[in-house]
Amino acid sequence: MTSESNDLHGMVPDHHDTAVLLIDVINHLDFEGNEELLKIAEKLGKQIASLKEAARKLGIPIVYVNDNFGKWKSDFRNVIENVIEENKPGKPLAKLLLPTEDDYFVLKPKHSAFYCTPLDILLNHLGTETLILAGIAGNICVLFTANDAYMRNYKIIVPKDCIGSNTSAENNAALEQMENILKADIRPVAEIIKDLKRSALRKNSNQEKPDEIIRK
Amino acid sequence: MTSESNDLHGMVPDHHDTAVLLIDVINHLDFEGNEELLKIAEKLGKQIASLKEAARKLGIPIVYVNDNFGKWKSDFRNVIENVIEENKPGKPLAKLLLPTEDDYFVLKPKHSAFYCTPLDILLNHLGTETLILAGIAGNICVLFTANDAYMRNYKIIVPKDCIGSNTSAENNAALEQMENILKADIRPVAEIIKDLKRSALRKNSNQEKPDEIIRK
Amino acid sequence: MTSESNDLHGMVPDHHDTAVLLIDVINHLDFEGNEELLKIAEKLGKQIASLKEAARKLGIPIVYVNDNFGKWKSDFRNVIENVIEENKPGKPLAKLLLPTEDDYFVLKPKHSAFYCTPLDILLNHLGTETLILAGIAGNICVLFTANDAYMRNYKIIVPKDCIGSNTSAENNAALEQMENILKADIRPVAEIIKDLKRSALRKNSNQEKPDEIIRK
Amino acid sequence: MTSESNDLHGMVPDHHDTAVLLIDVINHLDFEGNEELLKIAEKLGKQIASLKEAARKLGIPIVYVNDNFGKWKSDFRNVIENVIEENKPGKPLAKLLLPTEDDYFVLKPKHSAFYCTPLDILLNHLGTETLILAGIAGNICVLFTANDAYMRNYKIIVPKDCIGSNTSAENNAALEQMENILKADIRPVAEIIKDLKRSALRKNSNQEKPDEIIRK
């Protein structure tokens, strides 16, 4: 029925020109050739967690975009339990990035977060213009998602220490492609966070100006 | 990552040339003009339940396609709890049609079950050629979904006693449109079920022939 | 390559909050059950032409959205020649509505103008918020397009004397569906044109105000 | 209207499990950083032409997928005239690859040949399972298209001497990505053509077998 679905009222209470996409961070990580990635998984998880924490404080919405596991049930809770309980190699990463009540979730059936998902509609309601991408694999699902974001005219930020691939060579090739072709900002997460805070300050001070004028 | 998402292996264990779509049956039913619909809700629920039961026995996959409620979380369990616990007018209908472990779920952000959802991919993996549509509202989400199914070349069945709209006039207009333009089979659910059983028998007897020949 | 395709610069020189969609007006009209439609085709063509003329004068972009004929060639000139030269029943309608250099064209492979076409991207670049639909058939391609426009949050206008279907009963049912469910404005074209002119006047006078203030 | 658009009858007379996509070969080639690409443009054009010629002889459909130039008009003839008559750097390449009556054309509004175009529907009607990609730029429109083809489960062939990018480093990185992640066959065009011929011979001899059996 239309009452709620028509305009998605109530579903998307947040509004911000920036959104964070956490791509496949809830992940078994049990695929072939994962050795190098497993070694950096915890560090990667902490860096992504720092991005998430900063975004949360600044009111920037977080959207988990994740593969489904098991039978298709549009049930993200199930996906999380699956990774945690089965004690898969991805458990430590997942535990660093457990979603909370404030987060949005989109299940994706293929590599790109945009392909056959409601992501674009959700971002439209959020007012998103800039996407910050983080997660794995940098040269597959992150890159596919970045390409699709670029075709949809989003500004793209991919903090280079917030994505991981099977090998660092593959990770670097993906970063180069995103920087050169997609015009992505790939500076490290610490610098990105600094910029986000600065921009929030600027917005706040702009919003306060009219009041100040009135007060004087 | 690609290991599972690439081909959706493991996600879609069923295979059948027919699938049942249950559209927005988990529903608050608390919208304006719902009086006539509420009166038939229980009867409608029982008829849809008979369709679901017959399909289940014949190995025909059931796909719930439902609006989300509250914040977008790809969490169908949450949607169900929401309708049941809040004691909304839609509770009796929802209780007749509670999903089980065997069912598939797709959350849709807009009226059509195909728009910005993974439904088409899911049906592809199921091998679906014919869609049986049931649910509410017949002249909105069911009709929008039927149109989109028609453009994607699915054969369409809409048992006339398995869809409901605010008024029976609107319901009939939608059925007429689906029969005339979309070439839908709109016979009552009892006849549809009879056909499904007959077709299953035929398939079984065909599959047994080679064995019989060998045995003799 | 990206230089031009990236942002469609140069392709969409117009900008207006309203656009006119002319749906399948270049049409053989040689299908079964066309007798009633053929009788009104010329009158319909003149009414649509009056809409097109008014829109053109007001700077409102016109987008032809049309089925392809013959082999898929993304070649709308070919489609037009095909209808005109073959002396099909649709020739008089087509001749009343021949496109000019100013018009946009989108070829659609299925019923809805939005399905697997660049229409949504084009409208985005035009800045379209309100769509005026005209053409044939009212209960098929126009209705399918209107549904898809509604899901994409466009405001919809369908002048009731600018669409035609095989029978007037079918046409009226489609209009009723579009008015009731899609909240479409279905007043006759003369009233719609009056509103468009009034709104253009209002915009012009608003734009002149700042200057007037300065001048004084 | 539906008569022809419903199933695309008459539009897609060919049927083959393989199709060739020629991506942006009708191109001004007047973008920044084109020096290295211009030097190889003629050689590239001849290699692509050899692929096209071989495909044509084997009954493999050729689909031009090309950016539009100027105002959006779904008019590929116009695009061709534009490149040829304006004497742009891309003229020699375009002249080597002028389309004929047998070819299909799809205009794309963005980088990927699949995004907001009817390509997937067209390939479905052609019966395509394997796509041979050729054209420019290898690391942009070809790569974006290859990614989207991979998500749609097409088998991918990209003859390494049939794509060009601004620099050979970028071209090689794209080829590596397509070979490793998309499992593309990137052998040179001569080897690909040999395989296509062999496979055609095999099919023909298989089709003749039943006759031979009957004859004996």
B/D interface, count of CB pairs below 8 Å: 3
Distance from CA of B107 to the nearest CA of C (A): 15
Interface of C with A in 177-196 (CB under 8 A): 181
Q: How far is CA A42 from CA A12, A93, A143, in A?
A: 31, 6, 21
pLDDT tens figures, B38-58? 999 999 999 999 999 999 999
* Averaged pLDDT of chain A: 88
pLDDT surpasses 60 at A37: yes
Residue B165 carries which side chain, given as an amino acid letter?
S
Residue C76, chain D, CB below 8 Å: the answer is yes
pLDDT tens figures, D162-211? 999 999 999 999 999 999 999 999 999 999 999 999 999 998 887 655 44
* Averaged pLDDT of chain B: 88
pLDDT tens figures, A43-81? 999 999 999 999 999 999 999 999 887 677 767 777 888
Distance, CA of D161 to CA of D167 (rounded, Å): 14
* Main-chain phi, psi angles of D22, to 5 degrees: -100, 110
Q: How far is CA D20 from CA C50, D40, D48, D131, D204, in A?
A: 44, 21, 10, 6, 21
Q: What is the pLDDT of residue A76?
A: 78
Q: What is the pLDDT of residue C87?
A: 84
Q: What is the pLDDT of residue A51?
A: 98
Interface contact B71-A13, CB threshold 8 A:
yes
Distance, CA of C154 to CA of C63 (rounded, Å): 15
Nearest CA in chain A to B32: A3
**Burial annotation C68-107 (CB, 10 A radius, 16+ → b, else e):** bbebbbbbbbbbbebbeeeebbbbebbebbebeeebbbbb
A/C interface, count of CB pairs below 8 Å: 4
Burial of B77 by CB count in 10 Å (0-12 exposed, 13-18 middle, 19+ buried)? middle
Residue C155 parent element (H or E): strand C155-157
Can you list the alpha helix ranges (DSSP code H) found in C58-118?
76-85, 91-96
B173 chain-C contacts, CB cut-off 8 A: 173, 176-177
Interface contact D177-A176, CB threshold 8 A:
no
Structure tokens at A119: 């992501």
Closest CA to C102 of C149, C67, C52, C136: C52
Distance, CA of C142 to CA of C158 (rounded, Å): 9
Distance, CA of D185 to CA of C61 (rounded, Å): 45
D neighbours by CB contacts (3+ pairs under 8 Å): A, B, C
Beta strand B104-108 pairing with D18-23: unpaired
Distance, CA of A22 to CA of A113 (rounded, Å): 10
**Burial annotation D28-61 (CB, 10 A radius, 16+ → b, else e):** bbebeebebbbebbeebbebbbbbbebbeebebb
Q: Which of A20-34, A152-166, B26-40 has the highest mean pLDDT?
A: A152-166
Q: Region A13-32: what's the mean pLDDT?
A: 92
Interface test with A, best of D111, D120, D151 (most A CBs within 10 A): D151
* Main-chain phi, psi angles of D164, to 5 degrees: -135, 145
Can you list the alpha helix ranges (DSSP code H) found in C58-141?
76-85, 91-96, 119-126
Interface contact A151-D177, CB threshold 8 A:
no
Interface contact D112-A147, CB threshold 8 A:
yes
Distance from CA of B151 to the nearest CA of C (A): 6
* Main-chain phi, psi angles of D196, to 5 degrees: -60, -40
Q: How far is CA B120 from CA B57, B149, B151, B189, C112, in A?
A: 24, 9, 12, 24, 17
Can you list the alpha helix ranges (DSSP code H) found in chain C?
2-5, 35-57, 76-85, 91-96, 119-126, 143-151, 168-180, 189-215
Nearest CA in chain A to C124: A152
Distance from CA of C72 to the nearest CA of A (A): 25
Distance from CA of B96 to the nearest CA of D (A): 37
Nearest CA in chain B to C147: B144
pLDDT surpasses 60 at B196: yes
D3: alpha, beta or left? (left if phi > 0; alpha if psi -120 to 50): alpha
C199 CB-near residues (< 8 Å, 6+ apart): none
Q: What is the pLDDT of residue C31?
A: 84
pLDDT surpasses 70 at D216: no
pLDDT tens figures, B141-184? 999 999 999 999 999 999 999 999 999 999 999 999 999 999 99
Distance, CA of A151 to CA of D116 (rounded, Å): 10
Q: For a pLDDT cut of 90, what percent of chain D falls above it?
A: 70
A1 chain-B contacts, CB cut-off 8 A: 24, 27, 29, 31, 67, 136-137, 140-141
Closest CA to D126 of D17, D44, D7: D17
pLDDT surpasses 80 at C149: yes
- Comparing CB atoms, the residue among B3, B11, B77 nearest residue A72 is B11
SS3 category, A2: helix
Interface contact D137-C1, CB threshold 8 A:
yes
Interface contact C151-B111, CB threshold 8 A:
yes
For chain D, domain boundaries: 18-201
Q: What is the pLDDT of residue B157?
A: 98
B51 CB-near residues (< 8 Å, 6+ apart): B20, B132, B134, B159, B162, B189, B192, B193
Can you list the alpha helix ranges (DSSP code H) found in D168-188?
168-180
Q: What is the pLDDT of residue A142?
A: 98
pLDDT tens figures, D37-92? 999 999 999 999 999 999 999 999 999 999 887 677 767 777 888 888 888 899 99
Q: What is the pLDDT of residue D209?
A: 54
Q: Does domain B18-201 have CATH number 3.40.50.850?
A: yes
Q: Region B104-111: what's the mean pLDDT?
A: 92
* Averaged pLDDT of chain D: 88
SS3 category, D179: helix
Structure tokens at C131: 């769509």
* Main-chain phi, psi angles of A147, to 5 degrees: -55, -50
C neighbours by CB contacts (3+ pairs under 8 Å): A, B, D
Query: Is C151:A6 a contact under the CB 8 Å cutoff?
Result: no
Residue A121, chain D, CB below 8 Å: the answer is no
Q: What is the pLDDT of residue B215?
A: 40
Q: What is the pLDDT of residue B74?
A: 67
- Comparing CB atoms, the residue among A3, A104, A140 nearest residue B73 is A104
ipTM above 0.95, yes or no: no
